[in-house]
Amino acid sequence: MRDRRKQKRSSTKDFLKVINLDTGIRLGGLANVSDDGAMIVGEEAVAVGKASRCRIDLDRPILGRSEIQIDVKTRWCRKNLERGWWESGHTLKCATNEDTEALSYLILRFSMGEWDVPGTGKIKTVPLPNRRRHARFETTDFFPVRDQNGLKHIGGLANLTPMGAMLTSIEPIKEGRILHCRVDLPQRIFQRDYLFFEAECRWCKQNPEKGWYESGYKLTKISEQDAVIIMHLVMHHLEVQTTEEQVDVVG
């Protein structure tokens, strides 16, 4: 039978613990997750329509976090007679922007089969004051950005995260404008020469020293394959953007 799911879900053998923060009781284990929702397995049935705040306990840190908080609403619940446990499907919404970013890495880790993500290494760090919501990763080489047809040059990619990007350009970009971007990759990645995404311009300003314009974007549409390419770029081709508030490596 044809699978009608809009979003692909990937399973993991070792379930991550999910705790109901309203009751303090373990809801179950995270069996699979996507941008649209998650499936949780547990020993007890969950009431359909029930909403609650939950915590996912991570087995290894992601971006320095040991947990992710989510708001879930149960859409369905059924008994798996073969396994002997209850399975429940939930829509989810992250509690904070930091939780949203950590969850995006977790989803990619599921889909890539325990792929290491930033923040999972053995290096110990001490965070210094930093009011920036998301870590940004800047390019060391020039990544040309064109429209998706490749006909019009937009500018260059300055930095990138799974949530957004910053571009440089000769001309200003109007706030609120939607761009359909094609980024030239530094080398072929997963049989692809380009990264594609749709993004909304949130701000634009001129750099008085350089003379060019800098504009920030929220990614509004991106395929699963392109999301994986972003992860590869973050881990292998980009560097953490340096700011006045930094992180000290202590071990």
Domain count of the fold of the chain? 2
**Which CATH number goes with the domain that contains 32?**
2.40.10.220
Same domain, residue pair 117 and 160? no
Look at residue 123 in the predicted model and tell me its pLDDT. 35
Distance set, CA 174 to CA 8, 157, 208, 237 (Å) = 34, 17, 18, 29
From 121, 146, 168, give the residue that closes a domain. 121
Strands (E) in 63-177, as ranges, are 65-80, 85-94, 125-127, 137-147, 153-160, 164-169
Is the domain of 15 the same as that of 114?
yes
Give the residue from 171, 180, 190 showing the smallest Cα distance to 150. 180
- What rounded mean pLDDT belongs to the chain? 76
Residues 114 and 167 in one domain: no
Q: Is residue 50 part of a domain?
A: yes
d(CA 226, CA 222): 6
Residue 80 lies in a domain: yes
Q: Are residues 110 and 70 in the same domain?
A: yes
pTM value?
A: 0.45
114 with 144, same domain: the answer is: no
Are 152 and 85 in the same domain? no
| 159, 241 Cβ separation under 8 angstroms | yes
Domain finish residue from 88, 121, 154: 121
Same-domain pairing of 96 and 42: yes
Same domain, 19 and 114: yes
What confidence tens digit (pLDDT) does each residue in 102-152 have? 888 887 777 655 433 333 343 344 444 444 444 444 445 567 889 887 678
Residues 113 and 167 in one domain: no
* Per-residue model confidence as pLDDT tens digits over 163-220: 888 888 888 999 999 999 998 888 888 788 898 999 999 999 988 887 889 999 988 8
Domain that holds residue 169: 137-249
188 and 90 fall within a common domain: no
Query: 195 with 185: CB under 8 angstroms?
Result: yes
Angle formed at CA 109 by CA 105 and CA 111, multiple of 5 degrees = 115
**176 Cβ contact list (under 8 Å, min separation 6):** 200, 201
pLDDT of residue 179: 92
What confidence category does residue 223 fall into, taking pLDDT thresholds of 50, 70 and 90? confident
